[in-house]
A and B are shown apart, each in its own frame.
Chain A
Amino acid sequence: MKEDLSPFLPLSPATLHILLSLAGEERHGYGIMQEVARQSEGQYKLGPGTLYDNLQKLMDQAIVEEAPRRSADDDPRRRYYRLTGLGRRILTAEVARLEGVVREARIHLRQPSPRRAS
């Protein structure tokens, strides 16, 4: 049976960027902020408050989970986060939805509807 992910979609911009930043590898909070800035070429900047608001929600929904620390020498304040299986499926579904939006947008932008002669 196909999983119904519609309750999670569409994702907010912050959530989408956070999930995208975690799609490749697990990251700590500051790493997520840096990756979001890199992916958006500096156009979208997450502050720590917004980041952890979203991370809290995503962890409560089991979309993101905390990953074990990489080494004992790591700064204890630095915690790592990663996508869960559910998180990856939601991100995939959101990307598919956005692809549909972009496809529609391209069609309409290339072929403007004919104007009725007055």
Chain B
Amino acid sequence: MTRSLYRSLLWLYPPGFRARFTEEMLWIYDETASAGVIPLFTDGFASLFRQWVQHSTPLAAAGFGGALHMALFLIMILPMSSRVPDCAPVRRVLLSNISAPVEHTRLSGAWVGALRSTGPSGPIELILAKRGGAWTGELYLQGPDGQMHGGPLQDIDVEGDSLRFRIEAADADMIFTGRLRQGRLRGVLEATANGTQVAARARGRKVGEGTWQMARAASPNAAGIP
């Protein structure tokens, strides 16, 4: 349960920091929690405070207010953790507090990277970069024929946390519509190949600086991607 609480604490960080370091912080938590979680939570709250102070956005107050709520809640609940049969109320409290920062996640130059997919029709690789204030990129996916299909991204539209682009290749037209949420990119890749329209949900996560891993979610018509 304390791991869930620590994960929830990480959700209260500003989106950029969260996307960049949450996985590593959770990994360190897993490695060190056996020695005691109180120092981890103390350090986490201090760091959370510093992060929101540095982020002088209008959301800072909301975010820090949420953190304060959570701190008070933790103080009440940690000593009694063995007597709490179900953590559903905890989740409700945390979700109500983090809703504002999550909805203001932004795509920015920090999200440069590659998306790789290991779907049923082979890997997808997406390079997306912001250069000189403009987004550029390429997407390639391996079709059932073993050939790579795709090309440069066109009409890249980034607005808030939403990402949309299309690809007009000789053998396939594709449109990707997705959103960056909670440090993960999720969306739908629709492709028209040989007059047949197919679509697949896709989700990606950052696995390293400039590197994203993308996996295809189950979809009835996912296998039809060229």
Contact = CB atoms under 8 A, between A and B. Distances in A.
A37 B135 CA distance: 42
B73 interface: no
Closest 10 CB pairs of A and B: A49-B47, A47-B43, A66-B209, A77-B27, A52-B21, A76-B207, A48-B28, A77-B23, A49-B43, A48-B25
Q: Is the interface of B mostly helix, strand, loop or mixed?
A: helix
Interface in A14-53: 28-30, 33, 45, 47-53
A49 B48 CA distance: 8
Interface in B90-142: none
A56 interface: yes
Given A30-B31, A48-B40, A66-B208, A77 B47 contact: no
A69 B208 contact: yes
A79 interface: yes
Interface residues of A, number: 21
Interface centre among A30, A48, A77, A78 (most CB of B within 10 A): A48
Contacts of B207: 76
A11 B39 CA distance: 24
A52 B44 CA distance: 10
Interface string A58-70: 0000000010010
5 contacts: A29-B27, A47-B47, A55-B21, A66-B208, A76-B23
Given A47-B43, A49-B47, A33 B208 contact: no
A104 interface: no
Contacts of A51: 28
Nearest to A68: B208
Interface in B165-186: none
Contacts of B23: 76-77
A50 B47 CA distance: 6
Nearest to B21: A52
B208 A52 contact: no
B51 A33 contact: no
